[in-house]
Amino acid sequence: MARGSLIVFEGLDGCGKSTQLDLVFDWMQARGLDCVKTREPTAGAWGQRIREMARSGEPVAREDELAWFMEDRREHVRDMIEPALERGTFVLCDRYWLSSVAYQGARGLDAAEIQRANEAEFPDPDLAIIFEISPEEGMARVKARGGVGEPVFEEVDFQRRVQKVFDSLDRPWIVRVDARGSIDEIHERVLSVLTERVVRPE
């Protein structure tokens, strides 16, 4: 059986990752394609710890934060992503290690070193879509979304630094999509990337 494809959704908070991932999932299911959706941080023990840290605003050393993300990803790849890829499934993942590079890089760690460590240990995505939006517009969407924000990750200055790192990432499997416009317009952009890059017509 052919190996599946890992498709990751990346970009600033509020850029529309989760919205677009759900639409791709529904689109694939309607076509009878075997697909799963997942996200980082995960619902596992490490992921819960990261979410709790982000919610409470508790100060955590950036090295520890990075280490928790790596532990979470280690379990995620071993227990979920790799088995699904081996079954030939499309794996749709809401954030992956590009976010570790961008966010922990924005906290002042060496972005290139984080990327090196992740590339050494974890599979490359077959496709990473980075949704491009200004920090202001992303934050406005997050505010409109309501609910509990993640104070550690959501200030505009910080988002600007995150964006710089996302902008600097350069791999052949990265595609940047303009995240401005209506949800439907962006979905159309995503589908044209998918059909060009990973979803072969039956």
Q: How far is the CB of 98 from ligand ADP (least distance, A)?
A: 13
Q: Is 134 in the site for Mg ion (CB under 5 A)?
A: no
Q: Using only C-alpha atoms, what is the Rg of the chain?
A: 16
Q: How far is the CB of 61 from Mg ion (least distance, A)?
A: 25
Q: Is 147 in the site for ligand ADP (CB under 6 A)?
A: no
Q: Is 14 in the site for ligand ADP (CB under 6 A)?
A: yes
- Residue 14: CB partners within 8 Å, gap ≥ 6? 133, 137, 138, 139, 140, 141, 142, 145
* Distance of alpha carbon 158 from alpha carbon 162, whole angstroms: 6
Binding span for ligand ADP by CB under 6 A among 11-19, 25-33, 63-71, 103-111: 11-19
**Binder among 31, 155, 183, 196 for ligand ADP (CB under 6 A):** 183
The answer to whether 14 and 163 have CB atoms below 8 angstroms apart is no
**Binder among 15, 18, 41, 188 for Mg ion (CB under 5 A):** 18
* Distance of alpha carbon 130 from alpha carbon 169, whole angstroms: 10
Q: Give 18 or 134: the residue with its C-beta nearer to Mg ion.
A: 18
Q: Give 67 or 169: the residue with its C-beta nearer to ligand ADP.
A: 169
Q: Is 13 in the site for ligand ADP (CB under 6 A)?
A: yes
Q: In 57-96, which ranges are continuous DSSP H helix?
A: 62-76, 82-86
Q: Give 120 or 144: the residue with its C-beta nearer to ligand ADP.
A: 144
Pairing status of strand 35-39 against strand 5-11: unpaired
* Distance of alpha carbon 72 from alpha carbon 92, whole angstroms: 17
In the complex, which residues of this chain contact ligand ADP (CB under 6 A)? 13-19, 141, 144-145, 181-183, 186
